[in-house]
Amino acid sequence: MIDRLDIHAWVDGELDSDRQKIVSQAVEADPALTAEYHAIVLTKTVLRSKCATEQSAESWNACRERIRRLDQDIRIQQFVGRYAWGICGVFLAILLVGAWVNRTLGSGLIRPGEVASMASTLMPVAQPRTTEPDKMHQWAVGTIGDAPMNLNPGVCQVRSISTGYCDGRRIIRVVLRDAKGDVSVWVVSGASTIDGFRPLPTGGEFLYGRMNGLPSLAWTDNGYALFVAGDRDFESLRAIALATKVR
């Protein structure tokens, strides 16, 4: 007597040759098992022959599209995952190079608006307790140091001096007074070009424009930009600028 499941296994080709021999002999000898064998074969045959394969080009195309999108995502993820440090490094390098370029090539440029905004960084320098013009002059000359500006007591008196640093630049503001009132002279280091000012229509060495809403004259000298600003006409400012500019 054989296990009837072995008949199925025989039909399905799942038996080794020895077992197959035993089962086939048993099936041949027993009409009931023979009927079972034929019924299994017939059922399998009916299924194979009647169950058609399913063709759907539309479904396959949709499937392939999903695979392609997924593949694209995977490739991007792999690329980013593998080269994340490199990508970050490139961005960092771009930032550093940009900063370096800005500092070295663009640092020579100064805008009057920048100068006005630098006022908040300035600290007044303590003045000597004297009213003697000579002592005040000495103090002022010593305070401005090597900045390329003349202090001419015959034209204006020094009222106050403030100094400070902004973006790595030394800034000096000297407030001068003459008969028409106060005038500020700004000295900014590390500036070789003045942006936004135009040459005076009368010609000459000065540029003119407005700084912080006040009429201003400006010029550059040996890596410094100098601005003279005051609430007065340009001709009057020019007189002070001429007295201040180092010859």
Which of 22, 28, 63, 93 touches other proteins (CB under 8 A)?
Answer: 63
Residue 129: DSSP 8-state: S
Candidate ranges 8-16, 22-30, 113-121, 211-219; the one touching other proteins (CB under 8 A): 8-16
Count the residues of the shown chain that bind other proteins, applying the rule CB under 8 A.
40
* CB of residue 57 to other proteins, shortest distance in Å: 10
Q: Give rounded-to-5 percent helix, strand, coil for the chain.
A: 50, 25, 30
Helix (H, G, I), strand (E, B) or coil at 51: coil
Contact between 206 and 218 (Cβ < 8 Å): yes
Compute the CA torsion angle 59, 62, 67, 68 (nearest 10 deg).
Answer: 140
Which of 25, 28, 38, 95 touches other proteins (CB under 8 A)?
Answer: 38
Distances from the Cα of 11 to the Cα of 5, 17, 24, 135, angstroms: 10, 13, 10, 122
Which of 30, 36, 182, 221 touches other proteins (CB under 8 A)?
Answer: 36
Task: Please name which of 48, 176, 196 lies closest in space to residue 114, comparing C-alpha atoms.
Answer: 196
- Give me the amino acid identity at 204: G
Candidate ranges 3-11, 162-170, 197-205, 233-241; the one touching other proteins (CB under 8 A): 3-11
Residue 43 as a binder of other proteins (CB under 8 A): the answer is yes
The Cα–Cα gap between 161 and 144 comes to 8
Nearer to other proteins, 52 or 123 (CB): 52
The Cα–Cα gap between 218 and 58 comes to 75
Residue 8 as a binder of other proteins (CB under 8 A): the answer is yes
Residue 70 as a binder of other proteins (CB under 8 A): the answer is yes
Residue 47 as a binder of other proteins (CB under 8 A): the answer is yes
Residue 46 as a binder of other proteins (CB under 8 A): the answer is yes
Nearer to other proteins, 41 or 93 (CB): 41
Which residues bind to other proteins, rule: CB under 8 A? 4-5, 8-9, 12, 14, 32, 35-36, 38-40, 42-44, 46-48, 50-56, 59-60, 62-64, 66-68, 70-71, 74-75, 78-79, 82
